[in-house]
Amino acid sequence: MHFIESLNKRYASKQMNGKKVSPEKVTTILESIRLAPTSLGLQPFKVLVVESQELKDKIFEKAAQGQPQIPNSSQVLVFACYKSITTEILDEYTQRIVTQRPTLPLAKVTAYRQMIDKSLNRPDKENFNWAARQAYIALGFALTAAAVEQVDSVPIEGYNPAALDELLGLEDKNLGSVCMMAIGYRDEATDYNATLPKVRKNKTELFDFL
């Protein structure tokens, strides 16, 4: 399927049917998240892949009431960012660069690390908001990957982050959730969104060519 056709076909599913997404397709969607670019390359977030029905039901009950997609989805991806970007996190990243780019001169790695330390030397809250923007880029990649794989999905911001974080014990892991994405397959009979036309700005409204 042509790329733009896939994007036209994707939509925010409002009701799913409980059918499982194949492991291959889940892997592709997760790999798109892993390969998404992030500022400084830091990937300042984790993605929790909720597969357990019990946990999906709990999320629905305790943190995301009114989001009917969750219980009948195949997986719920929770994008969670670091509450504090610790020295340990930065050390791990620096080590990852050294391991994965073995030909890079150590002096360059050191200079890069100093630049990162300087950039992130600001309140945790600012770093968290910055990390959330990085997570949203990954969310965009995942939504696109799902569309290409013809898997239905919905990004979910409309939930109670404090309740979700408590349920998943995120605070103890130095994490705070910023958004979710449910993947699965639409319920043809009840997903009213499936047949609605898209509402979008037209090209002249959206783009200014300078």
DSSP states of the chain: --HHHHHHH--B-S-B--PPPPHHHHHHHHHHHHHS--GGG---EEEEEE--HHHHHHIIIII-TT-TTTTTSSEEEEEEEESS--HHHHHHHHHHHHHH-TTS-HHHHHHHHHHHHHHT-S-HHHHHHHHHHHHHHHHHHHHHHHHHTT-EEEEE--S-HHHHHHHHT-GGGTEEEEEEEEEE-B-TTT-GGGGSPP----HHHH----
Q: How far is the CB of 126 from ligand FMN (least distance, A)?
A: 20
Based on the shown chain and the rule CB under 6 A, indicate whether residue 155 belongs to the binding site for ligand FMN: yes
Binding residue for ligand FMN, selected from 12, 30, 97, 163, defined by CB under 6 A: 12
Binding residues for ligand FMN, total number by CB under 6 A: 12
Pick the binder of ligand FMN from 151, 179, 182, 183 (CB under 6 A): 179
The answer to the question of residue 158 lying near ligand FMN (CB under 6 A) is yes
Residue 156 within binding range of ligand FMN, rule CB under 6 A:
yes
As measured in angstroms, the least distance from the Cβ of 12 to ligand FMN is 4
Instruction: Report the residue closest to ligand FMN, judged by CB.
Output: 158
For residue 11, state whether it binds ligand FMN (rule: CB under 6 A). yes
Q: Which positions from 34 through 73 interact with ligand FMN, judged by CB under 6 A?
A: 67
Query: Which chain residues interact with ligand FMN by CB under 6 A?
Result: 11-12, 14, 67, 154-158, 179, 193, 198
